[in-house]
């Protein structure tokens, strides 16, 4: 750094970016609003605030709020976004904007306000959120003449499949009237959910407002986009490539289209006059952002709907505890179909334990119990395909009661009990030994490892059903659809293709591979995977799950009761003090760094610390507080991170409300 460059310490102490010494005369400043308040990409948390810069007269018209600029900060040229223009500054001397990258206003006031709120709630920095919200600039695309888009509002559609739900027509009526209903929607089994989403979006657009729809992956995006084929919309996905994605994103920002459909990043789509936000399958881990500040799409959309007064539709075949909490708090209403309708459309579910499987010589070739063989043969004979869900390898095994398979939980914090490399049992969350663990169901003391992954292949299933085509869908190739002809379709969770006319049978293997995960959400996640697969069956088809019928998730699947399962899951978490009943932060990093951060935090008096426990070569500590103290926890963590940032201390990863505690 040159001697005339201001230090970061000077920048932090003055609250502005001081001008560099220069022999050149100062540039003439803008006559109107000569001060630009800029969010600067410093990469430093302790400098997370706007900085004032002087606006040269040559940039007066272009450097408007929302535009990209380059500024000199602590001797370096860095990127920035103009947040506002002002007539005065509390600082006497200001550095001028170095250059105007583009006069295109890429940041709308609504998204700027949302990004600030998201950053504060997640103990992150504004620019990190803006980096998620605004795609990288593509100059050639930006310079192209916008393609005219037909903007005529569609006529309001008929409720169609929404009439099957108790309050479905009422929800659409509220949208059509310009109101902002909020619903947690338990979608009926079958392939109709993209059509139902499209009807809700068309109803909103017919009322003169825009909509944002967020789905987990590209397959779901294609299905929703196809359902909206006759309505002008922008489908946003990272798979598009930088140029095409920026072109579509600009069409939304410029107001050419009023509907944005996309994966995780679409939560920030700058739709004007927003009237509806939709998220499908919020329990899918693809909705969790892996980059700082690690926000979840559901949480962002809840904040966005709340701040803008937009309607919200949170849908899925299953229901998360977080979604149920929105219902219990009164923020949203539960949107479900009558039980008679559910029973008519849901498959007939039956559970089979692994012990039954072991005693069944008929099934040894492919680990399929007799009931599963029977269901598969009936489906194939009727000319319908069979879906076989096989958990992917690599799930972390937990421990369970050797007698009745009840997952082993810590008596102190209800965390999962696991065995370390030294074979000693301890809680994976708080680290307390669990040598004296006793099963709460049968009082047994012996523990066993749960099933890990599938050990049979599609070829073995083919030998069990000679002459039947076997198709696979998983990591190497994910199928979107399959024909409605006799075949065995082996898929990993989340990769199940839609069958023309539905599957004649659905076989859910190795249930313990999902239920036995050493994670807070193991039961909820297993049920979500099962609901998603079983929902692809034809009405009245058979679904066989290889897991004990007495288990709560299996019972919920058998009854097809996602809301009841979510209510119980939420109550169980509240009883042991885990999210979403509380706010929680996970701190992970080198042991000394984590301890140093904790020592410097001014935590609320209600804070409860769990750990530390080993996390690979690092340590992890959990901090939980009542929801009422969540904002104070975020503020304390942000302040602690800022101090370490200023000192250039070793990095500690901080995640608020983590999706996984494994």
DSSP class of residue 453 equals S
**Residue 48 gets which letter from DSSP?**
-
Local structure of residue 420 (DSSP, 8 states): -
DSSP-H helix ranges across 577-656: 591-599, 630-647
**pTM of the full predicted structure?**
0.86
- 197 Cβ contact partners less than 8 Å away, ≥ 6 residues apart: 213, 224, 227, 278, 280, 313, 315
Give me the residues of the chain with pLDDT under 50, please: 1-14, 18-23, 364-366, 393-396, 421, 451-457
Q: Is 210 helix (H, G, I), strand (E, B) or coil?
A: strand
Contact status, residue 86 vs residue 50, Cβ threshold 8 Å: no
| CB-based contact 115:129 (threshold 8 Å) | yes
Closest CA to 412 of 443, 433, 442: 433
CATH for 8-105 is 3.40.1440
pLDDT value at residue 432: 75
- Residue 323: exposed, middle, or buried by beta-carbon count in 10 A (0-12, 13-18, 19+)? buried
Q: Is 401 helix (H, G, I), strand (E, B) or coil?
A: strand
Cα(487)–Cα(498) distance, rounded to whole angstroms? Answer: 13
Report domain extents, the chain.
8-105, 160-340, 347-395+451-559, 577-656
Structure-block tokens of residue 364: 């040894």
Separation between Cα atoms, residue 510 and residue 569, nearest integer Å: 22
Please report the pLDDT score of residue 367 as a whole number: 56
What is the C-alpha separation between 73 and 42, in angstroms, rounded? 8
Residue 283 near residue 494 (C-beta atoms within 8 A): no
Give the β-pairing of 259-262 and 399-401: unpaired
The per-residue pLDDT for range 18-43, each reduced to its tens digit, is 444 444 556 688 899 999 999 999 98
As a whole number of Å, the end-to-end CA separation of the chain is 44
Distance between CA 456 and CA 468 in Å, rounded? 17
Cβ neighbours for 294, distance < 8 A, ≥ 6 positions apart: 122, 124, 288, 655, 656, 658
Domain pair 160-340 / 347-395+451-559, same fold: yes
Phi, psi of 633 (to 5 degrees): -65, -45
CATH-assigned architecture of domain 160-340: 3-Layer(aba) Sandwich (3.40)
The hierarchical CATH code for the domain 577-656 is: 3.30.70.240
CATH architecture of the domain formed by 347-395+451-559: 3-Layer(aba) Sandwich (3.40)
Helix, strand or coil, per DSSP, at residue 300: helix
pLDDT of residue 77: 95
Tokens of 288: 């969790």
Question: What pLDDT does residue 417 have?
Answer: 81
């Amino acid at each position: 750094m040159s001697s005339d460059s201001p230090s970061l310490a000077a920048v932090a102490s003055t609250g502005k970016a001081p001008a560099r010494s220069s022999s050149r005369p100062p540039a003439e400043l803008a006559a109107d609003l000569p001060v630009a308040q800029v969010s600067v990409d410093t990469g430093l948390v302790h400098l997370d605030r706007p900085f004032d810069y002087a606006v040269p007269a040559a940039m007066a018209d272009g450097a408007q709020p929302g535009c990209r600029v380059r500024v000199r900060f602590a001797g370096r040229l860095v990127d920035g976004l103009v947040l506002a223009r002002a007539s005065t500054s509390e600082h006497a001397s200001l550095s001028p904007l170095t250059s105007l990258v583009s006069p295109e206003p890429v940041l709308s006031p609504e998204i700027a306000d949302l990004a600030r709120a998201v950053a504060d709630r997640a103990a992150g920095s504004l620019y990190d959120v803006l980096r998620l919200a605004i795609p990288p600039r593509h100059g050639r695309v930006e310079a192209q003449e916008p393609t005219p888009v037909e903007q005529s509002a569609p006529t309001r559609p008929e409720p169609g499949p929404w009439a099957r739900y108790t309050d479905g027509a009422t929800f659409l009526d509220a949208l059509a009237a310009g109101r902002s209903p909020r619903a947690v929607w338990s979608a009926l089994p079958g392939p109709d959910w993209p059509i139902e989403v499209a009807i809700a979006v068309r109803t909103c657009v017919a009322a003169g407002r825009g909509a944002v729809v967020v789905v987990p992956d590209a397959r779901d995006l294609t299905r929703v986009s196809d359902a909206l084929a006759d309505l002008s919309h922008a489908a946003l996905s990272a798979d598009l490539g930088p140029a095409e994605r920026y072109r579509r994103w600009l069409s939304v920002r410029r107001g050419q289209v009023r509907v944005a459909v996309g994966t995780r990043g679409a939560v920030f789509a700058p739709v004007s006059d927003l009237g509806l936000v939709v998220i499908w399958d919020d329990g899918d881990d693809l909705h969790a952002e892996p980059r700082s500040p690690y926000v979840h799409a559901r949480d962002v959309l809840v904040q966005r709907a709340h701040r803008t007064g937009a309607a919200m539709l949170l849908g899925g075949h299953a229901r998360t505890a977080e979604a149920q909490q929105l219902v219990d708090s009164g923020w949203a209403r539960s949107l479900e179909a009558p039980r008679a309708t559910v029973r008519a459309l849901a498959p007939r579910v039956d559970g089979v334990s692994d012990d039954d499987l072991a005693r069944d010589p008929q099934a040894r070739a492919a680990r399929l119990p007799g009931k599963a063989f029977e269901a598969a043969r009936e489906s194939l004979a009727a000319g319908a395909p069979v879906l076989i869900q096989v958990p992917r390898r690599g799930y972390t095994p937990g421990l369970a009661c050797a007698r009745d398979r009840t997952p082993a939980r810590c008596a102190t914090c209800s965390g999962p009990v696991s065995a370390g490399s030294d074979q000693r049992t301890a809680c994976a969350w708080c680290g307390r030994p669990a040598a004296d663990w006793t099963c709460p169901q049968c009082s047994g003391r012996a523990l066993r490892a749960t099933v890990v992954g599938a050990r049979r292949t599609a070829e073995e299933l083919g030998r069990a059903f000679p002459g039947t085509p076997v198709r696979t869908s998983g990591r190497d190739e994910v199928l979107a659809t399959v024909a409605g002809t006799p075949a065995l379709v082996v898929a990993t969770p989340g990769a199940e293709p839609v069958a023309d006319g539905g599957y004649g049978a659905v076989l859910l293997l190795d249930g313990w591979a999902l239920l036995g995960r050493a994670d807070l959400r193991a039961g909820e996640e297993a049920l979500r995977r099962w609901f998603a697969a079983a929902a692809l069956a034809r009405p009245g088809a058979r679904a066989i799950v290889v897991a004990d019928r007495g288990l709560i998730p299996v019972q919920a699947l058998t009854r097809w009761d996602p809301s009841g399962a979510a209510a119980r899951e939420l109550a169980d978490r509240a009883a042991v003090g885990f999210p979403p009943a509380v706010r929680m932060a996970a701190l992970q990093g080198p042991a000394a760094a984590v301890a140093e951060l904790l020592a410097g935090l001014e935590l609320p008096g209600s804070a409860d610390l769990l750990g530390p426990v080993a996390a690979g070569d690092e340590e992890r500590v959990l901090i939980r507080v009542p929801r009422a103290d969540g904002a104070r926890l975020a503020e304390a963590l942000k302040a602690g991170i800022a101090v370490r940032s200023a000192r250039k201390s070793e990095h500690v990863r901080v995640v608020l409300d983590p999706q996984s505690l494994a």
